[in-house]
A = this chain, B = another copy of it.
């Protein structure tokens, strides 16, 4: 079982605040995500800035692409993204078109996806899935639980590298002990902290404590 990555989601409303935060914590974390909100507010420029600042880090464009997969994927790859997200209800042709243009495609799991669909994603060679507690679901009172963990385990058994996100904090990580999580994704868990660098280091140290170096 290898150490899970730590990914920061830059879910800011503007480039200025996003870059100020990633400037501080970019070297502490493993993967830099240009979040959906930032993509929609600032466009491809946000990806270009993050790629320019951190040429050696993995950059994710969280487009949650639902259609025109080939065009969207080519655009974010041109801007410097390594990974890109597609939404789980996108069609297989959309996913196939996107997959050709980026290094790796990540299926973002929302709502009523099925394991049958997940098998179809594996069949076309998709390696990554993102298990997501919706921010709005969390706001309306839902939380992490055994139901979530068993789905994460099942997806790992199916061969996915599974990223986990949504309302994570340092204390939540131990819930996943013994599970081969690929990446923990947090946005405000780092960026809304009084000291984002300390917050990022606390996440990283807890990951190392549980999963080793």
Contact = CB atoms under 8 A, between A and B. Distances in A.
A37 B89 contact: no
Contacts of A112: 89, 117
A139 interface: yes
Task: Give the contact-size bracket for chain A.
Answer: 35 or more
| Most chain B CB atoms below 10 A, which of A46, A67, A96 | A67
Contacts of A63: 40
B93 A111 contact: no
Interface in A110-169: 110-113, 117, 132, 134-137, 139-140
A110 B66 contact: yes
A43 B75 CA distance: 13
Nearest to A46: B43
A113 B88 CA distance: 12
Contacts of A41: 43-44, 75
Nearest to A109: B89
A72 interface: yes
18 contacts: A11-B68, A37-B72, A39-B43, A40-B75, A41-B44, A41-B75, A43-B43, A64-B64, A66-B108, A67-B136, A68-B136, A89-B110, A90-B111, A91-B134, A91-B137, A93-B134, A94-B136, A97-B139
